[in-house]
Amino acid sequence: MLRIQVLHGPNLNLLGTREQSIYGILSLDALNVAIVKLAEELSVKVDLRQSNSEGELVTWIQEARIGYDGIIINPAAYTHTSIAIRDAIAAVGLPTVEVHLSNIYQREEFRHRSYIAGVAIGQISGLGLTGYLLALRGLHDHLTTLRREKNVSAPVKSRRMTTGKK
């Protein structure tokens, strides 16, 4: 079974009440319920976490090296500022999808720069909850393809047959 870490960055704990004109009325709990539902359909185990702390997010990314196959991250405001999160993702080498509820490229100029995009296999921005679900489906498909290719290209060990006769 694939294991995917889903990380929600700063202020996402306020979803549903925070800047509803930008982020909508969906709460973080409701978002997580939808992610878990799709994960069950895909036979994926997800570990959902939220932190307002850059250091805690970096620690969780580093810990994902053991036991996880990929990461979905909404770094929120850290998208535009955190070289530490970018470097942690690069260091662990796990396929990572960056996701944003709002379209960061239609917002303020300073939000147009993502430090994370350069180390992610993909970025989904502006589709709300659907963006997270697409990230999960896309990462699942990517990881499944990698596993299949790894199994196909793995050398087959030859078995030496013996008959017991000398």
Question: How much of the chain exceeds pLDDT 90, in percent?
Answer: 69
Per-residue pLDDT of 120-131, as tens digits, reads 999 999 988 999
115-140 mean pLDDT: 96
Q: What is the dihedral of CA 87, 58, 104, 8, to 10 degrees?
A: 150
3-state SS, residue 111? helix
Strands 2-8 and 44-50: parallel
27 versus 17: the higher-pLDDT residue is: 27
pLDDT of residue 114: 87
Relative orientation angle of helices 129-153 and 28-41, to the nearest 10 degrees? 30
100 is an active site residue: yes
The answer to whether the CB of 128 falls within 8 A of the CB of 29 is: no
The domains located in the chain, with CATH, are 2-152 (3.40.50.9100)
Question: Is the pLDDT assigned to residue 151 strictly greater than 50?
Answer: yes
Give the number of C-alpha atoms closer than 13 A to the C-alpha of residue 158, restricted to the C-beta side.
3
Relative orientation angle of helices 83-92 and 54-63, to the nearest 10 degrees? 0
CB atoms within 10 A of CB 24: 16
pTM to 2 decimals?
0.86
Per-residue pLDDT of 21-79, as tens digits, reads 666 778 999 999 999 999 999 999 999 999 999 999 999 999 999 999 999 999 999 99
Annotated catalytic residue within 8, 100, 115, 132: 100
132 is an active site residue: no
Token pair of 51 as six digits: 């932190």
pLDDT of residue 124: 96
User: How far separated are the first and last CA of the chain, in Å rounded?
Assistant: 46
pLDDT of residue 80: 87
| Nearest alpha-carbon partner for 137 in 24, 35, 69 | 35
The answer to whether the CB of 138 falls within 8 A of the CB of 72 is: no
80-94 mean pLDDT: 96
Distance, CA of 156 to chain centre: 32
